[in-house]
């Protein structure tokens, strides 16, 4: 592993444009359970029944009680971990330009990352179904379910539900930065859910080196990612950042 981290540091230190693609795995170590995979929320509930836009519009009270209320409680307590702060350090070292994230927890921004493309929106905000006003999730009082806007309209997370489109601007810009980068860091995602899953392929097709940080092999490993670093972001990122910093400080 040490040799692989050193190789990755060499590549990052010499890179001209680096993009990171992150998924649920980077936030698991902040206490946020994933939606998919082992231990994920969808093992205990049907996503079509609680996370589809039609289910929400049909019965917002039920969806708030079964899913969104507990998500708010978890995310209110969550804080960035060493995986998130490691990406901030790479940005400060001039080694990372943009993060594309599938997460809705806002932890990249909380950690200090300045350019984050949110594929699925951000749970830090709620949006009124009637007037469109955005309200901070942290300030919502759960005494009333579903919570309401000052206009009386029902509030919904400013995230992408099943059955809704990825924000076009996020998709187009993600494709553009993926095609332009010469290194992509893939952290905490198996990259199997489209359209985010296409970003490593776009980068690879345009000559980028894919460095993968995941605790277990994924469909990307050895096929798209030419340099897998097997481990969680909390354990790998501080070592990787230290190795990059050492190279940049060398004469």
Calculate ∠ Cα 34-87-8, nearest 5°.
100
Distances in whole angstroms, Cα of residue 165 to Cα of each of 168, 171, 172 = 8, 10, 13
Contact 222, 228 (CB under 8 A): yes
Distance, in Å, from the CA atom of 164 to the CA atom of 31, rounded to the nearest integer, reads: 27
Give the phi and the psi of residue 196 in degrees, each rounded to 5: -60, -35
Rg of the chain (C-alpha set): 19
Q: Check if the beta carbon of residue 21 is closer than 8 Å to that of residue 175.
A: no
- CA 133 to the chain's CA centroid: 24
120 in active site = yes
Please give the C-alpha separations between residue 119 and each of 27, 87, 142, 161, in angstroms, as whole numbers: 15, 18, 27, 12
| Token output for 244 | 């990059």
Catalytic residue among 52, 84, 108, 120: 120
Active site residues: 120
């Amino acid at each position: 592993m040490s040799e692989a981290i050193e190789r990755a540091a060499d590549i990052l230190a010499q890179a001209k444009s680096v993009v990171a693609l992150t998924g649920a795995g980077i936030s698991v170590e902040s206490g946020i359970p994933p939606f998919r995979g082992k231990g994920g929320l969808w093992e205990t509930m049907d996503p079509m029944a609680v996370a589809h836009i039609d289910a929400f519009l049909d019965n917002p009270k039920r969806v708030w009680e079964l899913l969104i209320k507990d998500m708010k409680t978890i995310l209110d307590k969550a804080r960035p971990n060493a995986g998130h702060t490691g990406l901030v350090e790479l940005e400060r070292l001039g080694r990372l330009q943009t993060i594309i994230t599938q997460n809705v927890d806002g932890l990249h921004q909380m950690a200090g990352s300045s350019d984050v493309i949110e594929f699925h929106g951000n749970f830090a905000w709620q949006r009124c179904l009637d007037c469109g006003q955005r309200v901070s999730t942290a300030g919502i009082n759960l005494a009333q379910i579903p919570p309401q806007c000052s206009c009386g309209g029902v509030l919904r997370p400013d995230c992408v539900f099943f059955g809704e489109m990825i924000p076009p601007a996020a998709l187009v810009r993600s494709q553009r930065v993926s095609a332009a980068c010469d290194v992509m860091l893939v952290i905490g995602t198996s990259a199997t859910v489209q359209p985010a899953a296409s970003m490593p392929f776009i980068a690879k097709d345009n000559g980028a080196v894919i460095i993968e940080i995941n605790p277990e092999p994924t469909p990307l490993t050895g096929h798209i990612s030419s340099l897998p670093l097997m481990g969680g972001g909390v354990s790998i990122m501080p070592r990787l950042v230290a190795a990059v910093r050492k190279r940049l400080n060398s004469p």
